[in-house]
Structure 1
Amino acid sequence: MKKVVALSVAGIDTGNGAGAETDIKVYEILGVHGTLVVSAITAQNTRGIKDILVIERDFFQKQLETVLEDFDINNVKIGMIYNKEQYEVVKEYLEGKTIVTDPVIFAKDGTQLIKDLEDYKKYILPITTVLTPNAVEASYFSGINIKTLEDMKKSSKIISNTYNIPYVIVKGGHISTKYSFDILYDAKKDSFYLVGYERINQKNTHGTGSVFSTVISAELAKGEKIYNAIRIARDILQTSIEYGLEIGKGIGPVDPLVYIEKNAYKYKVIEDMYKFANFVESTPSFYKLIPEVQSNLAHSIPSSYVKDLNDIATFKNRIIRNWDNKVSIGFPVVFGKPTHTARLLLATIRKGERATVLINIRYDENTIKLLRLYGYDVIEIDREKEPEHEIEGKSMQWIIDFIYENYGKIPNVIFDKGMKGKEAMIRIWTEDIDTIIDTLNYICKNLS
């Protein structure tokens, strides 16, 4: 199997939060084989940098020569490179390649990571294809004190024109607003491209610059256009920040692996949904569990990864009892559909339960007895106490809120005897698909 090869020139973060090891991780996530040339080794953890061992010129050059003589590399990401000697080597060996530069002037703890700034501007910026400064770094390179969107635009164009950089992306994460923008200035078109995103209240943000710039490098290496690359980079970065790691005693790293982990979990969910469908279709008495309004199964990725309904799957067209008592599964499996079961599962997860599967079935007193015999904690809720809701979907949230406030947790079985306009219903949640299958199989075998 062949893969595109790219190169990271950066420092090593001993806390594995940023730097070359993060770059390699991101390259591999996106299907690119990452190679690396180490500029420095930092003694670093989540609290900051204790010391820096700079790789001397000869060995730094030897690394570059060795990698380039063997691998076909046209795309490079530059992170921390420390001094003029390294800049000269980089310019000599990498000029003319597609270079994405993350200008890490300072670490999060304030440690200076670029020693010779004027030489950096002389040697590194002019050979850069895509520059990805944050607002602080862009202020330094442009001379503009960036506070607004217009400031970001002006600075990106100034930097591009001053250093002859084809693409300059000024990131908006350092500007304190609810919604932020990344601004791409395209020198060839003399135009701006904006990517908007919502700010995330998360302290564990170490490595954001590394992830963002390396995603762009990887996508360009695969032949993606810069406009798509920046959007993909922002999407991956947002997910990485949302699931920032609570490790160490300082500022934890973002987690770019979540991007592929969530996709892998979604694939497993789809497999589980087909497994459940096979069980339903091979169980002749399953029709007895279908209410008048029909059923649906909601299945999420692991609850700790669930953000919203987009992380929860259902059958698009419900589970239906036909006239001949055969049950039809409403394929396909879809994520993000706001069904009652999906909303109820999401509300349950947000109360801290490790729920991943939830189904609604027909109310029957014998079913309730069987569920209690099976060992489930069962609770009844009086729908007559439910206030009128103006917003669709609030009923499911009210059920969970009401139970939690009065019970302190969410039992696996919730039922109600209905009211005018609302059919009586049993709802069952479990932590995995096998448990829900075993439970429903038990009911089907014992329900008269």
Structure 2
Amino acid sequence: MKKLLIISGFDPSSGAGLIQDVGIATAMGMSVYSAVSAFTKQTLEKTYNVKFREISEILDEIELLEDVSVVKVGVAQPKIIKELRNLFKNSTIVWNPVLESSSGFKFLDEEEVKRYMKFADYIVVNSVEAKKVGIFDNMVITGGHENTEMIEIKYKGKVFQHERIRGNFRGTGCVFSTLFSSLLVLGYTPEESIKRASEILVRVLKRSKDRVQVELLTREWQKVEVLDELNSIVMDIMEIGHLTIPEVGQNVSYALPWAESEEEVAKFPGRIRLVFGKPHFLGDATYKGKSHTARMTLEMMKKFPYIRCTTNIKFNEKYVEKANKIGLKVYEHLRDSEPKMVKEKEGQSLRWGIANIIQDLDKSPDIIYDKGFWGKEAMIRVFGRNPREVIEKVKSVIF
């Protein structure tokens, strides 16, 4: 597998530099090598000092690395670019020579940078830096510092535009150049890399505050994974649904790790119902819509954040007895103990019941059941870390 080697400075605030670079690269699915080129003293607001590592030390660390497709360099002594060209003759070198920090701290001398530009395949700089070092044929010039409605990126006479997201963000140069490098590893052309890197950066900036929060990008694959995990139990429900689906229907909800609203909890659309004795789904799992199991999951996560999945199955005394017999942690929700204002408010009854039960527990419950109330069907709710764990608990009590 082709690798991306990242050589950049260590920023303890993680607003830019190596940590930011590795974060965005791994979010892009890259297999990454890395080395620290410098140590900085800085916060998200200001840079105070930089200490460059000896080039010989860095080269000694990386000389045995294989399958390096692209080398991405950030803040480093300019001479290292020539050494990298000799060491990785068949690799593409992308250099983002940060001349100074966003707070005005000077990292590199413009004249020294110019001497080593010819050894890189691509130089990624902002428009201010380009004016200082001059325009070179291998430059990708970003226009975030210009006072234009759209941000322009220039490369070999071509101009690429993307939406400007207003805000004072740190780390945009690091992130863009690393996205650009990652896409080169994937075989994108420079032009297509610029376009796609811009699209991804805009997407992340729309969700970010103060700095480029690359961790938000990694949340996207988790959203897909949660849906996949939920859809993976459809066949299980098809097999056992005739034993579990209540009259009001069943659902299974699976929350994202950071979920705070129902829109961040995956669930099946509508409810799973028996049609001619067989489970019927309205569609694949989705984040759209509402579900009582989603609300219960959110309530459970307030105390036990790792319990992210909930389903409801029809009440059967034998199921409860079996659950107790095999050692599951079983609790009863007494409907007649609910305050009047809770009973009268749609969607609050079960959340109140769960909160009331778990408030003094040290370990999360496996099952919470109730025997029904006027207009409310008796029900068993099963909780777990993920859909597979929940469905296995269900099977353990019905067979």
Could you say whether these structures have the same fold, taking a TM-score greater than 0.5 normalized by the shorter chain as the test? yes
Report Cα offsets for 1:36-85 as digits up to 9, x if no partner: 67643x2779899997543456x3896799699x8675x553311246x5
Partner Cα separation in structure 2 for residue 13 and residue 21 of structure 1: 7
**Structure 2: gaps spanning 5 or more residues:** none
1:352 alignment partner, one of 288, 298, 303? 303
Partner Cα separation in structure 2 for residue 416 and residue 169 of structure 1: 65
2:107 alignment partner, one of 107, 114, 122? 114
Decide whether aligned partners of structure 1 residues 299 and 127 sit closer, same or farther in structure 2, where only a CA change above 3 A counts: same
Structure 2 counterpart of 1:413: 368
Partner Cα separation in structure 2 for residue 182 and residue 124 of structure 1: 28
Matched, 1:183 2:151: yes
Decide whether aligned partners of structure 1 residues 28 and 361 sit closer, same or farther in structure 2, where only a CA change above 3 A counts: closer
Matched, 1:217 2:185: no
1:238-253 correspondence runs (5 A): none
Report Cα offsets for 1:102-141 as digits up to 9, x if no partner: 627238xx794614256547865997857465xxxx7x65
Partner Cα separation in structure 1 for residue 374 and residue 132 of structure 2: 66
Matched, 1:313 2:282: no
1:43-442 correspondence runs (5 A): 52-56=50-54, 59=56, 73=69, 75-82=70-77, 85=79, 99=94, 101=96, 103=98, 105-106=100-101, 112=105, 114-117=107-110, 119-120=112-113, 129=122, 131=124, 141=129, 165-170=139-144, 183-186=151-154, 188-190=157-159, 192-194=161-163, 196=165, 210-224=174-188, 225=192, 226-235=194-203, 256=215, 263=221, 267=225, 270-271=228-229, 274-275=232-233, 277-278=235-236, 280-283=237-240, 286-301=241-256, 303=257, 305-306=258-259, 312-316=265-269, 318-323=271-276, 325=277, 327-328=278-279, 330=281, 333-341=284-292, 343-348=294-299, 351-354=302-305, 355-362=307-314, 375-381=329-335, 385=341, 395-396=346-347, 398-399=348-349, 402-403=352-353, 409=359, 413=368, 415=370, 417=372, 423-424=376-377, 426=379, 428-432=381-385, 433=387, 436-437=390-391, 439-441=393-395
1:61 and 1:89 in contact (8 A); partners too: no
Q: Secondary structure at the match of 1:230?
A: helix
Structure 2 counterpart of 1:8: 6
Decide whether aligned partners of structure 1 residues 312 and 61 sit closer, same or farther in structure 2, where only a CA change above 3 A counts: closer
Partner Cα separation in structure 1 for residue 331 and residue 140 of structure 2: 63
Partner Cα separation in structure 1 for residue 83 and residue 41 of structure 2: 26
Once the two structures are TM-superposed, the CA of residue 218 in structure 1 deviates from its matched residue by 0.4
Q: Secondary structure at the match of 1:299?
A: strand
Instruction: Give the TM-score of the pair, scaled to structure 1.
Output: 0.59
2:7 and 2:73 in contact (8 A); partners too: yes
Q: Secondary structure at the match of 1:170?
A: coil
Decide whether aligned partners of structure 1 residues 118 and 235 sit closer, same or farther in structure 2, where only a CA change above 3 A counts: same
1:171 and 1:182 in contact (8 A); partners too: no
Report Cα offsets for 1:238-297 as digits up to 9, x if no partner: 88x79xxxxxxxx9x9675x856873785477356535742x4444xx535323332121
**Structure 1: gaps spanning 5 or more residues:** 143-157, 173-180, 243-250, 390-394
Aligned pair count reads 378
1:298 and 1:357 in contact (8 A); partners too: yes
Decide whether aligned partners of structure 1 residues 127 and 86 sit closer, same or farther in structure 2, where only a CA change above 3 A counts: closer
Decide whether aligned partners of structure 1 residues 380 and 233 sit closer, same or farther in structure 2, where only a CA change above 3 A counts: farther
Partner Cα separation in structure 1 for residue 173 and residue 121 of structure 2: 16
Q: Secondary structure at the match of 1:232?
A: helix
Instruction: Give the TM-score of the pair, scaled to structure 2.
Output: 0.64
Decide whether aligned partners of structure 1 residues 333 and 293 sit closer, same or farther in structure 2, where only a CA change above 3 A counts: same
2:12 and 2:42 in contact (8 A); partners too: yes
Once the two structures are TM-superposed, the CA of residue 402 in structure 1 deviates from its matched residue by 4.0
Q: Secondary structure at the match of 1:377?
A: strand
1:160 and 1:168 in contact (8 A); partners too: no
Instruction: Give the root-mean-square deviation of aligned CA atoms.
Output: 5.7
Partner Cα separation in structure 2 for residue 238 and residue 89 of structure 1: 38
Decide whether aligned partners of structure 1 residues 18 and 427 sit closer, same or farther in structure 2, where only a CA change above 3 A counts: farther
Once the two structures are TM-superposed, the CA of residue 379 in structure 1 deviates from its matched residue by 2.0
Partner Cα separation in structure 1 for residue 331 and residue 118 of structure 2: 64
Amino acid at match of 1:227: K
Comparing 226-235 and 363-372, the one that deviates more: 363-372
Partner Cα separation in structure 2 for residue 171 and residue 416 of structure 1: 65
Partner Cα separation in structure 1 for residue 373 and residue 150 of structure 2: 51
1:106 and 1:113 in contact (8 A); partners too: yes
Partner Cα separation in structure 2 for residue 379 and residue 65 of structure 1: 61
Partner Cα separation in structure 1 for residue 84 and residue 132 of structure 2: 20
Report Cα offsets for 1:142-163 as digits up to 9, x if no partner: 9xxxxxxxxxxxxxxx899977
Identity rate, percent: 15
